[in-house]
């Protein structure tokens, strides 16, 4: 069942065409149409080696052995009538905030259970940026060096290709200041020995922010070198004092990269974080596995105030804030009244002096 899940996910990720845009919505829609209509200026294809597990898959899905070295190659095709420059990089796969396996962005941190990073075992043999001639192609290579040692499982990552310093092919009618950056990523999966049974662990539950939105974040770890696909995650947060439900959420189709962590976002929206004692109940399951996690956690007054203040969500103002605004308003009114009375007295005194004269 897990192999079937991998096939469905892998085929969709074997050569992801990413279209990154700077500009308005109209420009985004027009540029995506240009990409899907065949006007993308380059493409990439892997050269599959003899140890490819399935030749029908257009990504590197290799059976490997520790202590071995192997060269991998891919061909960049230039479909335009001018030279182009393409930058390449090898990334270790991670689990992103959406609960999917991330091949494009390199992670900033790695789970402690990760023994071998794919970007450390697989290195480019030439410069990171290459020039591909007009209507031609360029072969780029990487060397895989797996250290000797005991390891069974999956190493996962992606070979990333991005067009650089180039204008978009074709034109975008009615759009201004639009810059298109076309990119591909070829998934790289090395299977060594027998893949162990996946194991999830709940690391911690903390308040925090995601893209300036506040919430509660359970961090779930996949501590084995194995992929997990098609997960259904059901989560509920209750207040410990009376069991009142504070937040409930369900997310389907969750994926885990090997030896990675998922910081599950339970965003609070317009509800501010409140200090107190809480309980998390979480069920994570697919057709082959099921985990149940229960954890008490605390939101301190300091953390609640900090994340509420930093959040961009529309939060109701506290009574203390309203009292402060009211007091400030009264103070301003008193100053104005005092100034008017003082001015009137001064004006009256000046008038009386002129009369006496």
pLDDT in tens, 298-308: 999 999 999 99
The average confidence (pLDDT) of the chain is 84
Q: Per CATH, the architecture of 200-310 is what?
A: Sandwich (2.60)
Which residues partner with 45 through β-bridges? 75
- CATH topology identical between 2-192 and 200-310: yes
Comparing 210 with 174, the larger pLDDT belongs to: 210
Q: In residues, how long is the chain?
A: 357
Least confident of 213-227, 312-326, 339-353: 312-326
pLDDT, position 110: 97
pLDDT, position 41: 85
Which pair of tokens denotes residue 146? 């797996």
- For residue 269, how many C-alpha atoms fall within 13 Å in the half-sphere facing its CB? 5
Beta-strand relationship, 122-124 and 137-145:
antiparallel
Phi first, then psi, for residue 345 (nearest 5°) are -65, -45
Q: Using alpha carbons, list the distances in angstroms from residue 221 to 151, 201, 228, 257, 262.
A: 19, 5, 11, 10, 6
Question: How many other C-beta atoms are found inside a 10 Å radius of the C-beta of residue 322?
Answer: 11
Comparing 314 with 167, the larger pLDDT belongs to: 314
Over residues 345-357, mean pLDDT: 65
Comparing 3 with 140, the larger pLDDT belongs to: 140
Q: Per CATH, the architecture of 2-192 is what?
A: Sandwich (2.60)
Quick: pLDDT tens for 186-199.
999 999 999 999 99
Quote the strand ranges of the chain, DSSP E: 18-22, 42-47, 60-64, 69-78, 84-92, 94-95, 101-102, 122-124, 129-132, 137-145, 153-164, 179-192, 200-210, 213-222, 228-239, 245-256, 260-263, 266-267, 276-285, 290-299
Domain ranges within the chain, ordered by starting residue: 2-192, 200-310
- For residue 340, how many C-alpha atoms fall within 13 Å in the half-sphere facing its CB? 6
Q: How confident is the model at residue 2 (pLDDT cuts 50, 70, 90)?
A: very low
Phi first, then psi, for residue 303 (nearest 5°) are -65, -40
Question: How many other C-beta atoms are found inside a 10 Å radius of the C-beta of residue 240?
Answer: 13
Kindly tell me if the per-residue pLDDT of 22 is higher than 50: no
Over residues 279-298, mean pLDDT: 98
Kindly tell me if the per-residue pLDDT of 35 is higher than 70: no
Comparing 336 with 316, the larger pLDDT belongs to: 336
DSSP structure class, residue 147 = P
pTM: 0.76
Comparing 6 with 218, the larger pLDDT belongs to: 218
Quick: pLDDT tens for 91-132.
999 999 999 999 999 999 999 999 999 999 999 999 999 999
Kindly tell me if the per-residue pLDDT of 33 is higher than 80: no
Torsion of the alpha carbons at 90, 96, 102 and 108, rounded to the nearest 10? 0
Kindly tell me if the per-residue pLDDT of 57 is higher than 80: yes
From the list 297, 263, 300, the residue with the least C-alpha distance to 280 is: 297
Over residues 335-348, mean pLDDT: 77
Over residues 271-280, mean pLDDT: 96
CA distance 229 to 4: 10
Comparing 139 with 341, the larger pLDDT belongs to: 139
Determine the longest span between alpha carbons in the chain, in angstroms.
115
Over residues 208-230, mean pLDDT: 97
Torsion of the alpha carbons at 279, 280, 281 and 283, rounded to the nearest 10? -170
pLDDT, position 165: 67
3-state DSSP: the chain helix, strand, coil percent, rounded to 5? 20, 45, 35
């Amino acid at each position: 069942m897990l192999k079937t899940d991998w096939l469905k996910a892998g085929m969709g990720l074997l050569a992801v065409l990413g279209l990154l845009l700077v500009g308005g919505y109209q420009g985004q829609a027009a540029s995506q149409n240009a990409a899907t209509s065949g006007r993308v200026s380059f493409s990439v294809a892997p050269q599959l080696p003899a140890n490819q597990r399935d030749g029908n898959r257009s990504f590197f899905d290799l059976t490997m052995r520790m202590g071995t070295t192997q060269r991998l190659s891919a061909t960049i095709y230039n479909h335009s009538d001018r030279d182009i420059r393409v930058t390449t990089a090898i990334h270790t796969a991670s689990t992103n905030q959406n609960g999917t396996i991330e091949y494009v962005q390199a992670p900033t941190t790695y789970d402690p259970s990760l023994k071998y990073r794919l970007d450390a075992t697989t290195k480019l043999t030439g410069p990171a940026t290459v020039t591909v001639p007009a209507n031609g192609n360029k072969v780029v290579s990487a060397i895989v060096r797996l250290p000797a040692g005991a390891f069974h499982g999956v190493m996962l990552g992606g070979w990333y290709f991005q067009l650089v310093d180039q204008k978009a092919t074709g034109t975008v009618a009615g759009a201004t200041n639009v810059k298109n950056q076309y990119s591909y990523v070829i998934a790289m999966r090395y299977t060594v020995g027998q893949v162990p049974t996946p194991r999830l662990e709940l690391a911690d539950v903390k308040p925090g922010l995601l893209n300036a939105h506040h919430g509660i974040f359970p961090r779930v770890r996949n501590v084995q070198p194995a992929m997990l696909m098609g997960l259904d995650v059901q989560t509920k947060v209750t207040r410990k004092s009376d069991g009142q439900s504070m937040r409930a959420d369900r997310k389907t189709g969750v994926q885990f990269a090997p030896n990675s962590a998922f910081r599950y976002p339970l965003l609070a929206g317009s509800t501010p974080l409140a200090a107190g004692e809480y309980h998390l109940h979480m069920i994570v399951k697919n057709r082959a596995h099921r985990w149940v996690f229960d954890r008490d956690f605390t939101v301190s007054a300091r953390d609640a105030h900090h994340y509420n203040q930093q959040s961009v969500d529309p939060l109701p103002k506290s009574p203390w804030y309203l009292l402060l605004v009211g007091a400030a308003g009264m103070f301003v009114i008193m100053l104005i009244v005092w100034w008017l009375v003082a001015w009137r007295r001064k004006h009256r005194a000046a008038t009386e002096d002129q009369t006496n004269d």
